[in-house]
Structure 1
Amino acid sequence: MAHITLVLPFALPLPEFAPDLVRALQAPALAALLSRTSSARRAPGADAAHALPHETWLARQLGLADDGPTPFAGAAMRGFGFEPGPGRWHIVTPAHIQIARSHLMMADARQVSLDDEDGRALFEAARVLCEETGHALRYGDAHTWFLRADDWTGFDTASPDTVANMDLTDFMPKGARAQAFRRLQNEVQMAWHAHPVNAAREARRLPVVNAFWVWGASVQGQPPSTKMTTYTYAVPGWLAALGQQRLASLDDLDGVLAQGGLLVAGNLGQAALAADWSDWLQGMQHLEDALFAPLLAALKDGRVRELRLVLSSREALADYTTSALAQRKFWRRPTLDSLI
């Protein structure tokens, strides 16, 4: 029988909205999974300044011990078919930065929506500038590039989801080593300012790509060491690259149910980061129908022996384990109060 770990980034709503959202959510299968458990734990995030709770949890779970809070670069490179070799590699995320009333703010990368043709065109313009300053740049997908900068040490940059829609002042790299990053950032920004891709995007009223965000540094990054098969669904490209199998939809869970492993379902991210709770409810309802209900049925009929659910928000992480035996605790009334 399979053991499954299900990771649900942003499945915990913000506390001020949680009571109303729980009342509106119709998810009896999720309620049973969260209420009839053999263990339950909830804790604040370990490093809210640089990574979200589910990101640090995944780094530990995948055995990516390194010198930063989100050392995903080397492992993600391997997922895209590159061998990092020696050196300090960083993930590069093309970004849209806008001026708010009193600060700079970076939009959620999901809203930038770059296709491969535009991504490669912007990448080529940046690659020339990077190589002129002695930095190799590699292309993973339109939203995921990799930069080698061995001397960019002594500062940690936060993950894109950590900084999305936040005041960038709190997250900009500081110190002498960060000056090189800022110089390169400025040069790339100038090259992209009049780039045909951005001119076309502006004409279509799409966010222009006017900056890049560097993060996820690793040195001699090792591949994920977990023995579990890792599946991903609706996650950013860097995270999909860490898994063995990418699920285009949740319509066919037969492989997950038969083999078990770790499944990361990331379809709630855009709605949660935008505080669009109507879309968040729709996303949770989709998970209820396509994921929670089938998993509950598989537990009850013995196809799944144990299910671990890891839910997160910006501030907290909740960890629940249930099993076929735990689901027999009929005296525990199914409730979604755990989400509050």
Structure 2
Amino acid sequence: MIHKDYNSNMDIVISGILPHSSIASELARQAAKAAPTLFQKLENSKGTVHLLDPNETGCTPFEYWQLEHHQFTPAGQQNHAAGLGPLYSPHSHNRDQPVWLLELAHIALGASNATLLTADDLVISESESLALFESAQVVFSESPFKLLQHGTCRWHIEVPPDMVLPSLSPNVIASGYLNNWWPQDAQSRLLRKLLNALQVEWHEHPVNQERQQKNRPLINGAWVFGGATPSQLQAATAVTPPRLLQQLETSHRKQDWGQWLAILAKLEQDVFSPLLANKDDRLVLTGYDRLVVVTPGRMPVWLGKLLNRNQQWKDWWCQ
């Protein structure tokens, strides 16, 4: 659990800033050159590493931080990803009703693997989503699941109360191969059957025919996650709301490190210089399986340089 001291200083959360361990050492120098303001702050700060295995949490470290920020408490066999249902749907009326979400997606089939693009990657219009929602009603009518509410990127669904399903964030799925994440238990097979039926229904749908003509990724699949109730989350109590910087997420998820460096340089130019001026603000940095909380160092800069402490950030950056 990540403890938070609730004071007037601000948390600055930069998601997707920590590269995958296989490339982190190689990118360290380039990243420090692209964003000198950020890395000067790291040089005189203390970093506390939290290793967060997506196989256990079911979500990304950034999503884990968001859930911790709302003091989410998993119940029973739930993992943290179960809390993404109410987190992404904060206006659910019944606080004791489990919130399950279906997120529209693109599933790309390769020779031996399938990959997933999330709704964030697809730029879905309201009219496209509504047309697909109406066609999905037919598929859902023949299943134990029920469509409840339409949203542009995510729809509310009802899962049978006696059905126990695992929850996995689509953002985690999109970071790897879909084959590696599909649950294989008997109850999940019903969900797989439903999602396969949706793929068939949408294969020649007019929405996708039009998207194909415009050379845009098809909305040809979906992913279901959630299961926690709104009562398991609490209202955030920080005096100063955190500042969330999510611009690096897409390139980090795609492991497009050239684009990642370009976005990092733009953040340096547009955001970091004024934002990081307050030396007492805390940084929260996230990657694929790690979260690092960076707190201001109390050691004078000259002494840190003398003891070579200004290079300590590389120890956790390259883990």
TM category (shorter chain) comes to 0.7 to 0.9
**Counterpart secondary structure, 1:200:** helix
Look up the match of 2:147. 136
Cα distance, 1:195 vs structure 2:
1.2
| Gap change, CA 1:131 and 1:220, over 3 Å in 2 | farther
Q: Note if 1:321 corresponds to 2:283.
A: no
Pick from 108, 111, 121 the counterpart of residue 121 of structure 2.
111
Q: Note if 1:311 corresponds to 2:285.
A: yes
* Offset from partner CA, 1:86-117 (integer Å, 9 cap, x none): 43321211111121121222134432221222
TM-score (norm 2): 0.83
Pick from 86, 90, 105 the counterpart of residue 95 of structure 1.
105
Look up the match of 2:73. 65
Cα distance, 1:283 vs structure 2:
1.6
TM-score (norm 1): 0.78
Pick from 22, 29, 42 the counterpart of residue 28 of structure 2.
22
Look up the match of 1:283. 263
Pick from 294, 303, 319 the counterpart of residue 331 of structure 1.
303
Query: Which structure carries more strand by proportion?
Result: 1
Contact kept? 1:64, 1:225, Cα under 8 Å: no
Pick from 10, 17, 32 the counterpart of residue 16 of structure 2.
10
Paired residues in the alignment total 298
| Gap change, CA 1:86 and 1:150, over 3 Å in 2 | farther
Cα distance, 1:190 vs structure 2:
2.4
Cα distance, 1:198 vs structure 2:
0.5
- Counterparts of residues 239-278 of structure 1 (less than 5 Å): 260-278=240-258
Q: What is the alpha-carbon distance in structure 2 between the residues aligned to residue 331 and residue 207 of structure 1?
A: 54
Q: What is the alpha-carbon distance in structure 2 between the residues aligned to residue 175 and residue 69 of structure 1?
A: 20
| Gap change, CA 1:328 and 1:148, over 3 Å in 2 | farther
Q: What is the alpha-carbon distance in structure 2 between the residues aligned to residue 101 and residue 41 of structure 1?
A: 41
**Counterpart secondary structure, 1:218:** coil
- Counterparts of residues 136-175 of structure 1 (less than 5 Å): 136-140=147-151, 142-151=152-161, 153-175=163-185
Q: Note if 1:77 corresponds to 2:89.
A: yes
| Gap change, CA 1:220 and 1:20, over 3 Å in 2 | closer
Look up the match of 1:120. 130
Aligned partner letter, 2:17: A
* Offset from partner CA, 1:36-87 (integer Å, 9 cap, x none): 12x4211321444522222223212211213332112123222xx4424543
Q: What is the alpha-carbon distance in structure 2 between the residues aligned to residue 217 and residue 53 of structure 1?
A: 19
**Counterpart secondary structure, 1:158:** coil
| Gap change, CA 1:43 and 1:278, over 3 Å in 2 | same
* Offset from partner CA, 1:105-146 (integer Å, 9 cap, x none): 213443222122212221232245435645133223x22222
Look up the match of 1:187. 197
Pick from 40, 44, 58 the counterpart of residue 36 of structure 1.
44
Q: What is the alpha-carbon distance in structure 2 between the residues aligned to residue 118 and residue 330 of structure 1?
A: 59
Aligned partner letter, 1:15: S
Aligned partner letter, 2:49: R
Bigger shift: residues 290-299 or 209-218:
290-299
Aligned partner letter, 1:55: E
Look up the match of 1:247. none
Q: What is the alpha-carbon distance in structure 2 between the residues aligned to residue 13 and residue 85 of structure 1?
A: 37
Q: What is the alpha-carbon distance in structure 1 between the residues aligned to residue 40 and residue 114 of structure 2?
A: 43
Query: Which structure carries more helix by proportion?
Result: 2
Aligned partner letter, 2:282: R
Look up the match of 1:214. 224
Identity rate, percent:
23
Aligned partner letter, 2:266: H
**Counterpart secondary structure, 2:276:** helix
Look up the match of 1:298. 278
Look up the match of 2:3. none
Cα distance, 1:149 vs structure 2:
1.0
Q: What is the alpha-carbon distance in structure 1 between the residues aligned to residue 138 and residue 126 of structure 2?
A: 18
Bigger shift: residues 329-338 or 158-167:
329-338
| Gap change, CA 1:59 and 1:264, over 3 Å in 2 | same
| Gap change, CA 1:193 and 1:227, over 3 Å in 2 | same
Bigger shift: residues 161-170 or 270-279:
161-170
Contact kept? 2:122, 2:219, Cα under 8 Å: yes
The Cα RMSD (Å) is: 2.5
